[in-house]
């Protein structure tokens, strides 16, 4: 390793590592974060019985499985510092990959296997199928309805319930289920979703058993990880001499705050930077409202102003001004004290992290499935300020920028890059004549429409952005 970076070569054999964790949703983030923490433990000769078995649920996930298998389940993670520093690590913490649609029986057997003591998830915000307003699991969702009587369910909650049912029948105590998705109260959301599915498919007794015996620790996760493109593949080949079909790049910063509630044990994450705490809540609010909320701000306003990458948007005074106002005047006001954190420093560090030119994170990635994200990251800030009788013009501006962008896409005949495109289309039907009608969608915006000042700020911003 020299001043400009270097390479951590493989340091342990995958075959010496045995299964301990089943992980659903092996995307880029899982490979830059949870698998990297385990890699650090394995390099210290620890946690050898905590290897990760990845599970993919979608047809397209089969490709990652094929790629990992062809690379003996190793891949390259490259940290890109703002100063040009590049550090590559060959990671072999994932020891197998299951493609659930083609091998459902193996997935179920693993879930009933006593070696599996933790199940973890990165299935995106939308994967929890839960209303942001009521907190209710959507039992009418077509995939959930199909899973209720399916011999081999296809959704995460169907698969988990079936696995736990078999596990209980075999007399094996349940694993902990830890969500690593950006969702406020992700442990509780996961609990409610699984219990609701189990009640529907197996009845009250089994649902109550899950509620009583399965633990769902909360966790706050952080490491900016863009999607992998050919440019990252070329970097890994040209700089490190490795032909990796699916490397991952990320920023050097990493944080993982975890509620310490793992009845069957856990890897000693605290030995490699993990923070095990009793209450994740304040850390989670800080991260989701400041980092992810700001990401939404720069994405929608940045795209309207013609930017493609995060660091480009962060070089535009207009965008930075909005992000700073959103953070300092609004999000900060909605936060509790966060133990051990200086929030002023945290915000300055965020601005530096966002400006890292080497990460090349796209605004499009941040703006995908906005309807799943804004209600979790930024709407709660506006709602809290509104309840306190305070204004939130920056947050109103972000919602307006989203509406202007989406309405423009529709007018151009383009499809909306949103899981809830149909509902978004309906919400935009009268937005040009009456911008505030967009806020009438209480499933996303709660009661913000009833706050006359917020509605006026939204309308003003909408009219400004539509001229941009």
Ligand X SMILES: O=P(O)(O)OC[C@@H](O)[C@@H](O)[C@H](O)[C@H](O)CO
Residue whose pair of structure tokens reads 């299964």 in the numeric block: 19
User: In sequence order, what are the beta bridge partners of 55?
Assistant: 24, 98
Q: Which residues sit at the interface with ligand X, rule CB under 6 A?
A: 125, 182, 222-224, 291-292, 295, 366, 373
Least distance in angstroms from the C-beta of 352 to ligand X: 14
Q: Is 367 in the site for ligand NAD (CB under 6 A)?
A: no
Residue whose pair of structure tokens reads 């992980």 in the numeric block: 23
**Residue 366 interacting entry, from ligand NAD, ligand X, none, C-beta within 5 to 8 Å by type:** ligand X
User: In sequence order, what are the beta bridge partners of 90?
Assistant: 76
Q: How many residues bind ligand NAD (CB under 6 A)?
A: 24
Q: What is the SS3 string spanning 9-34?
A: CCCCCHHHCCEEEEEECCCHHHHHCH
Least distance in angstroms from the C-beta of 200 to ligand X: 27
Q: What separation in angstroms does the CA of 76 have from each of 41, 45, 215, 310?
A: 17, 20, 32, 23
Q: How far apart are CA 356 and CA 85, in angstroms?
A: 11
User: Which residues, including other chains, have CB under 8 Å from residue 99's CB and lie 6 or more apart?
Assistant: 55, 56, 61, 62, 65
**Residue 398 interacting entry, from ligand X, ligand NAD, none, C-beta within 5 to 8 Å by type:** none
Least distance in angstroms from the C-beta of 372 to ligand X: 7
Instruction: Tell me the residue ranges of DSSP E strands in 36-175.
Output: 51-56, 75-80, 86-91, 94-99, 118-121
One of 21, 28, 184, 402 touching ligand NAD (CB under 6 A): 28
Q: Is 221 in the site for ligand NAD (CB under 6 A)?
A: yes
Interactions with ligand NAD, residue window 103-142 (CB under 6 A): 122-125, 127
Least distance in angstroms from the C-beta of 102 to ligand X: 27
| CB nearer ligand X, residue 73 or residue 377 | 377
Q: How far apart are CA 38 and CA 23, in angstroms?
A: 13
**Residue 156 interacting entry, from ligand X, ligand NAD, none, C-beta within 5 to 8 Å by type:** ligand NAD
> Which of 76, 69, 74, 73 has its CA nearest to residue 8?
76
Strand 219-222 relative to strand 255-259, pairing: antiparallel
Strand 75-80 relative to strand 248-250, pairing: parallel
Least distance in angstroms from the C-beta of 96 to ligand X: 25
Binding span for ligand NAD by CB under 6 A among 198-206, 219-227, 229-237, 405-413: 219-227
Asked whether 117 and 262 are in contact (CB, 8 A), the reply is yes
**Residue 163 interacting entry, from ligand NAD, ligand X, none, C-beta within 5 to 8 Å by type:** none
Least distance in angstroms from the C-beta of 186 to ligand X: 11
Least distance in angstroms from the C-beta of 411 to ligand NAD: 28
Which pair of tokens denotes residue 59? 């047809």
| CB nearer ligand NAD, residue 71 or residue 386 | 71
The residue ranges that bind ligand NAD (CB under 6 A) are 24-30, 56-58, 61, 122-125, 127, 156, 181-182, 221-225
């Amino acid at each position: 390793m020299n001043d400009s970076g270097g390479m951590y070569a493989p340091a342990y054999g995958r075959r010496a590592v045995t299964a301990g964790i089943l992980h659903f949703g092996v995307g880029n983030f899982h490979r830059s974060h949870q698998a990297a923490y385990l890699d650090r433990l394995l390099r210290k000769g620890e946690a050898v019985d905590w290897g990760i078995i990845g599970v993919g649920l979608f047809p397209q996930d089969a490709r990652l499985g094929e790629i990992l298998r062809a690379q003996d389940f190793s891949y390259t993670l490259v940290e890109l510092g703002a100063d040009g520093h590049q550090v590559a690590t060959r990671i072999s913490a994932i020891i197998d990959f299951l493609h659930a649609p083609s091998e459902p029986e193996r997935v179920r057997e693993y879930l009933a296997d006593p070696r599996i003591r933790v199940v973890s998830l990165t299935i995106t915000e939308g994967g929890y199928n839960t209303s942001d307003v009521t907190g209710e699991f959507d039992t009418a969702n077509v995939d959930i309805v199909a899973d209720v009587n399916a011999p081999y369910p296809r959704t995460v909650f169907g698969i988990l319930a079936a696995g736990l049912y078999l596990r209980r029948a075999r007399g094996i105590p349940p694993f902990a289920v830890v969500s690593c998705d950006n969702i406020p109260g992700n442990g509780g959301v996961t609990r409610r979703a699984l219990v609701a599915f189990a009640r529907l498919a197996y009845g009250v007794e089994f649902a109550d058993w899950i509620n009583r015996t399965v633990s769902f620790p909360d966790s706050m996760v952080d490491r900016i990880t863009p999607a992998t493109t050919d440019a990252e593949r070329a970097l890994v080949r040209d700089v490190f001499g490795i032909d990796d079909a699916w490397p991952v790049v990320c920023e050097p910063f990493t944080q993982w705050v975890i509620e310490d509630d793992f009845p069957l044990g856990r890897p000693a994450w605290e030995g490699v930077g993990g923070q095990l705490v009793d209450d994740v809540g304040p850390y989670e609010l800080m991260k989701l409202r400041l980092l992810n909320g700001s990401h939404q701000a720069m994405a929608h306003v940045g795209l309207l102003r013609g930017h493609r990458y995060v660091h480009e948007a962060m070089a535009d005074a207009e965008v930075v001004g909005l992000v700073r106002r959103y953070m300092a005047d609004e999000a900060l006001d909605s936060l509790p004290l966060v133990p051990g954190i200086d929030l002023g420093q945290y915000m300055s560090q965020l601005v530096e992290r966002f400006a890292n030119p080497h990460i090349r994170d796209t605004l499009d990635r941040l703006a995908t499935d906005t309807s799943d994200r804004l209600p979790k990251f930024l709407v709660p800030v506006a709602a809290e300020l509104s309840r306190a009788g305070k204004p939130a013009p920056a947050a109103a501006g972000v919602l307006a920028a989203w509406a202007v962008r989406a309405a423009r896409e529709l007018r151009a005949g383009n499809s909306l890059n949103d899981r809830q495109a149909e509902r978004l289309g309906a919400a935009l039907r009268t937005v040009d004549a009456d911008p505030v009608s967009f806020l009438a969608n209480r499933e996303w915006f709660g009661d913000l429409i009833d706050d006359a000042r917020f509605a006026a700020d939204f309308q003003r911003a909408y009219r400004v952005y539509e001229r941009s």
